Structure 1
Amino acid sequence: MALLVLVHVLLTLLWLSAYVYVLSHARRFFTRPRVRRAMDRVTGVVLIGFGVRVATSAT
């Protein structure tokens, strides 16, 4: 049973380490001004769309 727990802990540690590594490299991409502007525009359109949907929904 202890071996199973140890394997689970090691796999979790490996997975989370890989996750941190990928996100640290992705941060460089997402902090570029052009990418930030695009994400801000997309987010704004989505929020406006949700607002229109809520405003036009029948209660």
Structure 2
Amino acid sequence: MGLLLAGVHAAMSLVWLAVIVLGATYARRWLARARSLRIIDRVAGTVLVGFGAKLALEQR
């Protein structure tokens, strides 16, 4: 029974890691495009400006 459970665990681990690898490959392709980089830069800039505005308007 222990060997069966270990085999199931190993099989599930292989499937999970394969999903992670495929997801990372897709994410790498998406992140390599110029349009994606512009979107990421705009979102990061907006978040930073938002944090700065919150700090500027915060009362002590």
TM range (shorter): 0.7 to 0.9
Q: Which runs of 4+ in 1 moved over 4 A?
A: none
TM-score of the two chains, using structure 2 as the length reference: 0.71
| Structure 2 spans left out of the alignment, 5+ residues | none
TM-score of the two chains, using structure 1 as the length reference: 0.72
How many residues are paired up?
A: 59
What residue identity is the alignment partner of 2:24?
L
Task: Tell me what 2:20 maps to.
Answer: 19
* C-alpha displacement of 1:42: 0.7
RMSD: 1.8
Pick the structure with greater CA Rg. Answer: 2
Percent identity, aligned pairs only?
41
